[in-house]
């Protein structure tokens, strides 16, 4: 339905889009993600004809937008703007009625009730119809704008940050409605800031980065793509949302990578605390052995860290011991937790690693060893200090 073919666009000397290709089929909700200034809104404007691309073209149902009149475009494609300040005190119904503009003659002043009523009902804004849009809350106004788009009876929808000014309840409701509209066979392309929401509602995500498509595909793939962290200039941790089962992204803005790898022996809550502390401080972290399904193992996987897993409730086999030993021996520091698996690590570390720290379960009893001597530290902060001292 929407085809973007090699679109390049610059504002003066500043290139914003550089050869963007994109395709949105009917019945598909595609999320356009990317950092501020990546050109999401610009791309939407190039698609609805407000901006003319310097090169390439955007097509609607096969026809180049540049060759269509605004009216022809607006009959097929509705744009839901980011919360607009209307200014004059139009009622919600009047605003939605303006959605009929593409289908009405200038001289036809009769009311076009059916599509307007349907749009109001669909967006559950029926009760707001006589209220002035200026008096509505952000969430209500966004729904009215969506109703206006529906009144256009379009085959495709563009949405520019439809949830930017909404609380979580309304975010879900608005996107849920868009999801339904798409299920009826419309095509929708939505610029969405919130990666979690994008992952939850969109069939595909397209990541805009450096003026081009950084990554595209199912949400799980795009959010785990290394380009994501690069695009947002931050380190992102992807976990699965326990409720929705869709990927959730957590940006860790204050993490700056440091030299040195620390191996954490053993999982459990204390292992997880050690991973979190050391990883956020910027160290490379490896972990093991930990039983499958351990909380520390889960965290390590989300952070994309190397993990040695062992069968739960069993004695680690030789292969596991050997892999663990290799990780521990090559690490710059070793943290021991009170977990049973720590023993294997302790053996390896005693023999090879000049430094090791021990992190006992319980009330943050942490030991640090130097030349075989373990020094006990009792908090995550103290653990970090100990590691920092030894790694310089």
Partner 1 sequence: MGVATRTAVWSGGLFGLLCATILASAAHGPVSVDIPVVARATLNAVAVPVAIGIEMAGASVGSLSLSVPILDVQYAHPFSFAVPETDETIVRDIRLPRILLGAIVGFALASAGAIMQGFFRNPMADPSIIGVSSGAALGAVATIAFPLAIPFGLQTAAFVGALLAAFGVYVIATEDGRTPVATLLLAGIAIQTFLGAVISYMLLQSGESLEEAVLWLMGHLQYSTWGRVEATLPVTVLIFAVLLVYARDLNVLLLGEEDAHALGIEVERTKRLLLAGSSVITAAAVAVAGVIGFVGLIVPHMMRLVVGPDHRILLPTSALAGATFLVLADTVARTGPAEVPVGIVTAAVGAPFFLFLLRRREVHAL
Residues of this chain, 110-129, that bind partner 1 according to CB under 8 A: 110-111
Among 2, 9, 48, 186, binds partner 1 (CB under 8 A): 48
Among 40, 45, 325, 390, binds partner 1 (CB under 8 A): 45
Q: Which stretch binds partner 1 (CB under 8 A): 106-114, 118-126, 356-364, 383-391?
A: 106-114
- Residues paired with residue 190 on neighbouring β-strands, in sequence order: 31, 159
* Beta carbon nearer to partner 1, 98 or 237: 98
Take residue 246 and report the two structure tokens written for it. Answer: 């869709």
For every residue of 343-367, DSSP letters joined together read HHHHHHHHHH-SEEEEEETTTTEEE
d(CA 207, CA 213): 6
For residue 271, the SS3 value is helix
Among 31, 34, 39, 99, binds partner 1 (CB under 8 A): 99
Q: Are 99 and 148 in contact (CB under 8 A)?
A: yes
x/- mask, partner 1, residues 65-84, rule CB under 8 A, reads: ----xxxxxxx-xxx-x--x
Among 102, 219, 316, 369, binds partner 1 (CB under 8 A): 102
Among 12, 106, 245, 256, binds partner 1 (CB under 8 A): 106
Q: Which stretch binds partner 1 (CB under 8 A): 92-100, 208-216, 236-244, 335-343?
A: 92-100
Site for partner 1 contains 22 (CB under 8 A): no
| Alpha helix ranges (H) inside the chain | 40-48, 70-76, 92-98, 113-122, 138-151, 168-183, 195-201, 219-224, 226-232, 268-280, 295-302, 318-330, 342-352, 380-391
Shortest distance in whole angstroms from residue 203 CB to partner 1: 24
- The candidate with the shortest Cα–Cα distance to 95, out of 69, 66, 122, 130, is 130
Shortest distance in whole angstroms from residue 10 CB to partner 1: 14
Site for partner 1 contains 14 (CB under 8 A): no
Q: Which stretch binds partner 1 (CB under 8 A): 103-111, 162-170, 259-267, 285-293?
A: 103-111
* Beta carbon nearer to partner 1, 156 or 335: 156
Among 14, 36, 109, 313, binds partner 1 (CB under 8 A): 109
Among 31, 49, 266, 267, binds partner 1 (CB under 8 A): 49
Residues of this chain, 261-320, that bind partner 1 according to CB under 8 A: none
**Which position has the token pair 């030789």?**
318
- Angle among Cα 190, 193, 196 to the nearest 5 degrees reads 95
* Beta carbon nearer to partner 1, 144 or 290: 144
Q: Which residues contact 155 (CB under 8 A, 6 or more apart)?
A: 1, 26, 61, 76, 77, 186, 187
Binders of partner 1: how many residues, by CB under 8 A?
36
Q: Are 272 and 249 in contact (CB under 8 A)?
A: no
Give the CB-side neighbour count of residue 75, counting CA atoms within 13 A: 8
Shortest distance in whole angstroms from residue 150 CB to partner 1: 13
Q: Which stretch binds partner 1 (CB under 8 A): 43-51, 173-181, 255-263, 376-384?
A: 43-51
d(CA 180, CA 258): 46
Shortest distance in whole angstroms from residue 34 CB to partner 1: 20
Site for partner 1 contains 95 (CB under 8 A): yes
Site for partner 1 contains 170 (CB under 8 A): no
Shortest distance in whole angstroms from residue 48 CB to partner 1: 6
* Beta carbon nearer to partner 1, 134 or 304: 134
For every residue of 154-209, DSSP letters joined together read -SEEEEESTTTT--HHHHHHHHHHHHHHHHTT-EEEEE-S-HHHHHHH-SEEEEEE
> In the chain, what are the helix, strand and coil shares in percent, each to the nearest 5?
40, 30, 30
Q: What is the DSSP letter of 151?
A: H
For residue 35, the SS3 value is coil
Among 10, 26, 94, 352, binds partner 1 (CB under 8 A): 94
Q: Which stretch binds partner 1 (CB under 8 A): 101-109, 244-252, 254-262, 359-367?
A: 101-109
What residues line the site for partner 1 (CB under 8 A)?
45, 48-50, 69-75, 77-79, 81, 84, 86-91, 94-95, 98-99, 101-102, 104, 106-107, 109-111, 148, 152
């Amino acid at each position: 339905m929407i085809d973007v073919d090699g679109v390049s666009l610059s504002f003066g000397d500043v290139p914003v889009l550089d050869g963007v290709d994109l395709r949105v089929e009917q019945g598909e909700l595609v999320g356009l993600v990317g950092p501020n200034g990546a050109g999401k809104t610009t791309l939407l404007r190039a698609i609805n004809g407000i901006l003319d691309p310097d090169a390439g073209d955007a097509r609607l149902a096969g026809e180049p937008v540049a060759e269509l009149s605004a009216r022809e475009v607006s009959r097929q494609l509705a744009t839901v703007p980011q919360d607009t300040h209307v200014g004059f005190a139009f009622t919600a119904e009047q605003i939605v009625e303006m959605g009929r503009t593409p289908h009405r003659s200038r001289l036809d002043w009769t009311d076009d009730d059916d599509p307007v009523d349907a749009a109001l009902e669909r967006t559950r804004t029926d009760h707001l119809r006589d209220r002035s849009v200026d008096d509505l809350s952000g969430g209500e106004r966004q729904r009215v704008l969506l109703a206006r788009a529906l009144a256009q009876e379009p085959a495709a929808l563009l949405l520019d940050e439809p949830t930017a000014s909404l609380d979580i309840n309304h975010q879900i409701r608005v996107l849920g409605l868009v999801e339904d509209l798409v299920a009826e066979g419309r095509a929708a392309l939505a610029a969405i800031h919130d990666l979690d929401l994008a992952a939850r509602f969109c069939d595909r995500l397209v990541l805009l980065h450096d003026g081009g498509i950084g990554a595209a595909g199912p949400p799980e793939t795009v959010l785990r793509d290394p380009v994501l962290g690069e695009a947002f200039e931050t380190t992102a941790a992807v976990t699965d949302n326990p409720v929705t089962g869709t990927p959730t992204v957590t940006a860790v803005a204050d993490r700056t990578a440091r030299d040195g790898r620390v191996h954490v022996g053993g999982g459990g809550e204390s292992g997880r605390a050690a991973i979190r502390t050391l990883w956020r401080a910027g160290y490379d972290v490896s972990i093991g052995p930990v039983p499958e399904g351990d909380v520390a193992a889960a965290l390590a996987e989300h952070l994309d860290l190397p993990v040695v897993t062992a069968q739960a409730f069993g004695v680690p086999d030789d292969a596991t011991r050997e892999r663990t030993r290799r990780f521990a021996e090559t690490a710059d520091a070793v943290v021991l937790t009170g977990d049973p698996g720590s023993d294997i690590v302790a053996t390896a570390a005693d023999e090879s690693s000049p430094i090791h720290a021990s992190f006992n379960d319980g009330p943050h009893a942490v030991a640090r060893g130097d030349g075989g001597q373990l020094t006990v530290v009792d908090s995550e902060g103290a653990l970090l200090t100990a590691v920092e001292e030894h790694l310089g």
